[in-house]
Amino acid sequence: MVRVIRVGAPPTGAGAVEDAYRLAIDELPVDAQGKPGLQFVLHYSVPVFIQPAGAAAAPPQLQWSLLRDGDHVMLQVSNHGGSHAQLAGLSYVDTMGRRTDITPGLLGYVLAGATMRWMLKPSAAIFAAGGTLEAMVNGEKATQNLSLADRSH
């Protein structure tokens, strides 16, 4: 069974940003009563992005910051552009050239006009001297020079 629900018209006009949805798919096992064995229920969650009608959305414009919260570090990314940014493969290279892998796979998405925060596993000492964050943004390599800031409460 497939159920599609769409409310409202797609975004239009200059300055329109893309719409973002999540498609949830549950694959249920066939009812096999009396048969031995395992049955699996699979759940998929697929991001879906709809570009504005008649024009391409502005590309993502990201603002990155590292915030210290005690011995922990939080990565904050704001997207001031008109389309999503998929972040993956994060590494941090300090001023001495030492590389620390943060997330080898997908970190997450920053939707148009949104801000996301992620608590990073490496301790604050790794980021203390400043350095460069390397990431894949929408499949393309990006670098950002960052220094660690104390989080204001």
Q: What pLDDT does 153 receive? A: 45
Block means of pLDDT (10 residues each) for the chain, 153 residues, are: 60 71 85 76 89 77 92 94 95 94 95 95 89 96 86 50
Same domain, 70 and 49: no
**DSSP letter string over 129-153?**
T-EEEEEEETTEEEEEEE-EEEPP-
Same domain, 67 and 51: no
Instruction: Tell me the CATH number at 129.
Output: 2.60.40
Its pTM stands at 0.79
Same domain, 45 and 78: no
Tens digits of per-residue pLDDT, 81-90?
999 999 999 9
Tens digits of per-residue pLDDT, 121-153?
998 889 988 899 999 999 999 999 988 876 544
* CA 1 and chain centroid, separation: 29
Same domain, 109 and 69: yes
Number of domains in the chain: 2
Q: In terms of residue numbers, what domain contains 85?
A: 62-150
Same domain, 47 and 75: no
